Amino acid sequence: MKHIPRKRFGQHFLADAGIIAAIVRAIAPQPGQPMVEIGPGLAALTQPLVERLGRLTVIELDRDLAARLRARPQLDVIESDVLKVDFAQVAKALGAIKIRVAGNLPYNISTPILFHLLRFVDAIEDQHFMLQKEVIDRMVAAPASADYGRLSVMLQWRYAMESVLFVPPASFEPPPRVDSAVVRMVPLAAPAAVPQALLEELVQVAFSQRRKLLRHTLGRWLEARAFTGSFDVQRRAEEVPVDEYLRLAKSLQE
């Protein structure tokens, strides 16, 4: 039976064989590697992945698609909202210290998924995701650019990232109204040791009014915390490099 894409799940199914092959080359799956695919859908990427891996764990929310996937003996299906999945427990269940993660993320909740995975970064070897190109541009953006923001800082704190492939709308059924791309995310070996919640709050405040100087936002937030260190608030949030935000968070923690 033909599956009708469901808007509430943000379903756009990859259908371009050339793009699928390019994504698999970028991921470079090796036999026996523990891997988890988020949102396998109609298994366009799942099939070539499992052929190379031998076994694959998939996370699928749509119960009809999950039922289809269970019919494939080489797949272990987690029928769940990905935002409720404990990836450290998944790694443990697979007998792995670290797992590889891949998938075509639902564009309507891609940012919450990225922040959710940030909690489990110590259990992840690498991540390859298809996302809206605009989101990936923000993820990899450099300071002093229009795309640089909260997402850039939070993800660059923990990952080395690169955009590895452009994917046009025509590669999907149905075609989305946006361009897509594939990002590679490799956890950094020695990230700055700062509490995620503190950094999230700091960055959220800094970028809350990005057109204003930081003295109007982050400056007041620092005053309320009785911060006595030095930090130049006569700049806009987008002018501050990631390492400066990390140093500030570290000094606040201390």
Question: What is the block-wise mean pLDDT of the chain (254 residues), using blocks of 10 residues?
Answer: 45 85 97 97 94 98 94 97 98 97 91 96 97 96 97 98 96 89 97 96 96 96 94 97 97 90
* pLDDT given for residue 11 in this prediction: 54
CATH fold of the domain at 196-253: Helicase, Ruva Protein; domain 3 (1.10.8)
* pLDDT given for residue 4 in this prediction: 46
Could you tell me the CA-to-CA distances from 92 to 39, 46, 87, 197 in Å, in that order?
Answer: 21, 22, 9, 25
Could you tell me the CA-to-CA distances from 208 to 87, 100, 211 in Å, in that order?
Answer: 30, 33, 9
Q: b or e along 139-177 (b: 16 or more beta carbons within 10 Å of the residue's beta carbon)?
A: bbbebeeebbbbbbbbbbbbbebeebbebeeebbeeeee
Q: List the structure tokens of 141.
A: 């953006």
* pLDDT given for residue 98 in this prediction: 98
136: left (phi over 0), alpha (psi -120 to 50) or beta: alpha
Q: What backbone phi and psi angles, to 5 degrees, belong to 138?
A: -75, -35
Q: List the structure tokens of 222.
A: 């620092």
Q: What backbone phi and psi angles, to 5 degrees, belong to 104?
A: -100, 100
* pLDDT given for residue 177 in this prediction: 87
CB atoms within 10 A of CB 88: 15
Q: What is the pTM of this model?
A: 0.91
The Cα–Cα gap between 158 and 179 comes to: 26
CB atoms within 10 A of CB 32: 9
Contact 58, 103 (CB under 8 A): no
- Report, at the CATH architecture level, how domain 7-187 is classified: 3-Layer(aba) Sandwich (3.40)
Q: List the structure tokens of 150.
A: 């909260």
* pLDDT given for residue 236 in this prediction: 97
* pLDDT given for residue 13 in this prediction: 81
Number of H helices and E strands in the chain, helices first, is 10, 9
Domain boundaries, the chain: 7-187, 196-253
